[in-house]
Amino acid sequence: MAASAVASFTTHDLAIVLFIGALVLLVSVAAVRFANRSGMPTLVLYLGIGLIMGEAGFGIGFENPELTQVLGYSALALILAEGGISTRWSSIRRSVAPAALLATLGVLVSVFVVGLFVVLFLGKSWTIALLLGAIVTSTDAAAVFSVLKRISLPRRLTGVLEAESGFNDAPVVLLVVALADAATPGRTAHAWWVVALEAAGELVGGAIIGLALGFLFAWLSRRTVPGSSGLFSLGILAATILAYAAASLVHTSGFIAVYLAALVLGNSNLPHRQAVHGFVQSVGWLAQIGLFVLLGLLASPSRLGSQIVPAVVVGLVLLLIARPLSVFASLTWFRFPWREQAFLSWAGLRGAVPVVLATVPLTVGTPNTEWIFDLVFVLVLVFTLVQVMPMPWIARTLGIAEAAQVVDLDVEATPLEELHADVLQLTVGATSRLAGVEIQELRLPEGANVTLIVRGERGFVPGPRTVIRRGDQLLLVTTARARDLAVRRVRSVSRDGRMAGWSTPLRPEPDE
């Protein structure tokens, strides 16, 4: 194989591939700036680049669902690794239980509702209908993580969305594979309870492997850290991929293993933390770009037109009926108010995961399922735009958007690590009651201070009597010990004004 590959692939071919690949990357990077300004999801732009490069555009032919599935699983593992490493345990720990229920019970509710509709109105068999429901029900980690960076939400909601998107890939993949096998002649179809037991075993096994390897490599990394931050970052990413591979080799869930291993490593106070975050974020972006462009190449525009109406109808059922029912069935037990449930119902974003899973019936050989890939592709393309574009407005209308947004900044500086310090960016929104408050009235805890204010085009160092205005961006430097209290203090003043903690108790976070 190696000899034939060398004989058929020359250095000239290599130059062409590198030229096209580098050009696609540069265009994709430039597209991020346009997406940030317009609010358009980058997923749509990258799928569009793939379509333009494909058979209806530049004429690059690509018809290989097997290779797409393999590369898709690889990209999803990298995306989940980036999501796990970038997620703070403190922001999701109280959301793990509702997110886990939403990723299991909620998935089953959505699959059944979509399947029932497909049987009644599209005339498909129950097995095919449930297969389609399983494919489209999974939320996408890359889409969710990118949107959450642009909207300031209560910590409990962001925690649920982050944890759900990290958890639900594993059970959905198992369900799709089982249903595709059941719909394929010549393959063994097990009873539903056998499939349920196997899925539970694979999830538990993958979770054990991911947690064990995460804690093991966290312990080793703190004792054998290399001097090079780049080399250390490469090792951390390799540890997460090892968790995926190890879990898959023993027939457990690699996706839950890679996410949990990355979550443990990302919250283990590792050295070179900011370098690790920057590196895995770059790898995550590369995986997203490559995956979405590849899926756009695989799609055939000439076939997509016939699936527009079914895709829109199935998408509406999923968005307006199946997803709200799954959220209600999963989160009512945790006393989520209806406004938060409504937002979580709308925020169940689909992305690359359903499109990758739509290749499973093709690779398994399930008969008469070619239409599923086209339907899912159209559904993801249309409903990503429909859901993402109005999401900030929906959050404000429901009254759940935070008036002041606090985000972590990745600052690569060794002294910050040695001091156990964090740097946060605070943006004062239009309705925040921080406006008119003096810096000293924030009463930040010892170890935290506002070191810079950017107002318009001018930045300056504030004094104790400096008054905060709407639209200001504040740089907040805090020790790790004082971080949570400082963020809690700022958010309380933003909601209740300068007297928060005096005239009213310091308000806890909603998930506390």
Q: What is the CATH number of the domain that holds 305?
A: 1.20.1530.20
User: Can you give the pTM of this predicted structure?
Assistant: 0.77
Are 391 and 411 in a shared domain? no
The answer to whether the CB of 473 falls within 8 A of the CB of 453 is yes
Q: What is the CATH number of the domain that holds 454?
A: 3.30.70.1450
User: Kind and range of the H or E element at 21?
Assistant: helix 11-38
Report if residue 506 sits inside a domain: no
Are 364 and 319 in a shared domain? yes
Write down the pLDDT at residue 161: 85
First-to-final CA distance of the chain: 58
Are 430 and 393 in a shared domain? no
Report if residue 14 sits inside a domain: no
The model's pLDDT over 368-384, given as tens digits with 9 standing for 90+, comes to 888 999 999 999 989 98
Are 87 and 170 in a shared domain? yes
In 39-64, alpha helices (H): 42-53
Report if residue 509 sits inside a domain: no
Are 284 and 233 in a shared domain? yes
Inter-CA distances, 353 with 73, 130, 140, 281, 502, Å: 9, 17, 6, 18, 48
Are 444 and 324 in a shared domain? no
The answer to whether residue 505 scores a pLDDT higher than 70 is no
Are 149 and 165 in a shared domain? yes
DSSP letters, 253-285, are -HHHHHHHHHHHHHTS--TTHHHHHHHHHHHHH
Number of independent structural domains in the chain: 2
Report if residue 4 sits inside a domain: no
Which of these three, 397, 418, 439, is where a domain ends? Answer: 397
The proportion of the chain whose per-residue pLDDT surpasses 90, expressed as a percent, equals: 24
Which of these three, 377, 397, 417, is where a domain ends? Answer: 397
Report if residue 198 sits inside a domain: yes
Report if residue 23 sits inside a domain: no
Write down the pLDDT at residue 432: 85
Which of these three, 397, 424, 459, is where a domain ends? Answer: 397
Q: Which of 59-68, 86-95, 145-154, 311-320 has the lowest mean pLDDT?
A: 145-154
User: Mean pLDDT: which of 373-377, 407-411, 429-433 is highest?
Assistant: 373-377
Report if residue 274 sits inside a domain: yes
- The CA-based diameter of the chain, rounded to the nearest angstrom, is 79
- Dist CA 243 CA 283 (whole Å): 17
Are 77 and 174 in a shared domain? yes
Closest CA to 73 of 213, 244, 233, 237: 244
The model's pLDDT over 141-198, given as tens digits with 9 standing for 90+, comes to 667 766 666 677 777 888 888 888 878 878 888 889 888 888 888 776 667 777 778 8
The answer to whether the CB of 420 falls within 8 A of the CB of 481 is yes
Are 216 and 167 in a shared domain? yes
Side chain identity, residue 175: L
User: Kind and range of the H or E element at 192?
Assistant: helix 192-223
Write down the pLDDT at residue 3: 45
Write down the pLDDT at residue 135: 93
Write down the pLDDT at residue 241: 95
The model's pLDDT over 470-500, given as tens digits with 9 standing for 90+, comes to 889 888 888 878 888 888 888 888 888 887 7
The model's pLDDT over 321-360, given as tens digits with 9 standing for 90+, comes to 999 999 999 998 898 999 999 999 998 888 778 888 999 9
Residues 6+ apart with CB under 8 A from 121: 313
Look over the chain and give the mean of its residue pLDDT values, rounded to a whole number: 83
Q: How confident is the model at residue 410 (pLDDT cuts 50, 70, 90)?
A: low
Are 327 and 441 in a shared domain? no
Q: How confident is the model at residue 7 (pLDDT cuts 50, 70, 90)?
A: low
Q: How confident is the model at residue 275 (pLDDT cuts 50, 70, 90)?
A: confident
Sheet holding 404-408, edge to edge: 404-408, 421-428, 473-479, 448-455, 458-460
The answer to whether the CB of 296 falls within 8 A of the CB of 380 is no
- Dist CA 338 CA 424 (whole Å): 31
- The residue range of the domain holding 412 is 404-496
Q: How confident is the model at residue 118 (pLDDT cuts 50, 70, 90)?
A: very high
Are 389 and 417 in a shared domain? no
The answer to whether residue 57 scores a pLDDT higher than 60 is yes
Report if residue 290 sits inside a domain: yes
Are 271 and 373 in a shared domain? yes
